[in-house]
């Protein structure tokens, strides 16, 4: 069976249907694992969430990291609408600021954040290099970086198995979204090469699960 090549999907999920479908999926377990890793790495202070989507992670971070604040950015207005409702309902308005901004051209000064993180948006970006450079640029020296994403399975059979295992109880549209995301993702080796080319040589690549990998750096 031939190996899967990367097949791009839309960069921005900005339809009402796609945003609602994504938000309706149960992301609790991977999100909790993501926030747990952030804490292990020493996340603190002023944080940036690149590609915040429906705002699950900033709310979870505020519940577990005392004294932090989070700026969440996304290009999808429909995702931001959902995120703003979630932040408001959680009572996190004073600690979470949500902005319409491009991951590839962030509107922040160099070294503006103690912690920079991103959860599963890398596969949406055709050329990940501007995104990685921007994430690293706005991170203070010694700060925490965590960029987690899906990684592309070896072949179609492996992809179908992951969809059945992790989205089998979802509707057809949600299964399609998950399958397309897996197909659009990088492999760990590809991410290592891109990260090194962008100067992120002090960050490690960790394969977290059967479908997730992380580019990360601990607090120094």
Phi-psi category of residue 145: left, alpha or beta, with phi > 0 → left and psi -120 to 50 → alpha = beta
Cα–Cα distance measured from residue 134 to residue 17, given in angstroms and rounded to the nearest whole number? 30
Per domain, the residue ranges of the chain are: 16-151+186-217
Judge contact between 146 and 166, C-beta under 8 A.
no
CA distance to 88, 106, 107, 132, per residue, from 110 (Å): 29, 10, 10, 14
Higher pLDDT, 116 or 1: 116
Q: Percentage of the chain surpassing pLDDT 70?
A: 100
Which pLDDT band holds residue 27 (cuts at 50, 70, 90)? confident
For 1-11, how does the pLDDT look when each residue is reduced to its tens digit (9 = 90+)? 578 999 998 77
- Exposed, middle or buried by CB within 10 Å (0-12, 13-18, 19+), for 63? exposed
For 144-192, how does the pLDDT look when each residue is reduced to its tens digit (9 = 90+)? 999 999 999 999 999 999 999 999 988 898 899 899 999 999 999 999 9
**Domain 16-151+186-217 top-level CATH class:** alpha beta
120: phi then psi, degrees, rounded to nearest 5? 60, 50
- Exposed, middle or buried by CB within 10 Å (0-12, 13-18, 19+), for 134? buried
């Amino acid at each position: 069976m031939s190996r899967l090549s990367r097949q791009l999907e839309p960069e921005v999920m900005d339809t009402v249907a796609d945003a609602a479908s994504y938000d309706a999926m149960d992301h609790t377990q991977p999100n909790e694992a993501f926030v747990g890793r952030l804490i292990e790495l020493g996340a603190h202070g002023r944080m940036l969430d690149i590609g915040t989507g429906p705002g699950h992670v900033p709310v979870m971070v505020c519940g577990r990291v005392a004294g932090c604040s989070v700026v969440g950015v996304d290009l999808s207005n429909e995702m931001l609408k959902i995120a703003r409702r979630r932040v408001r309902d959680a009572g996190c308005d004073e600690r979470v600021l949500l902005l319409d901004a491009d991951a590839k051209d962030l509107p922040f000064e160099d070294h503006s954040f103690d912690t920079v993180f991103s959860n599963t948006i890398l596969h949406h970006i055709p050329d990940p290099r501007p995104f990685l450079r921007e994430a690293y640029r706005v991170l203070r020296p010694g700060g925490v970086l965590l960029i987690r994403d899906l990684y592309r399975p070896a072949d179609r059979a492996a992809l179908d198995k992951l969809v059945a295992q992790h989205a089998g109880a979802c509707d057809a549209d949600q299964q399609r979204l998950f399958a397309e995301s897996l197909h659009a993702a990088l492999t760990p080796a590809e991410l290592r090469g891109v990260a090194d080319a962008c100067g992120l040589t002090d960050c490690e690549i960790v394969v977290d699960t059967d479908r997730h990998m992380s580019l990360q750096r601990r607090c120094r």
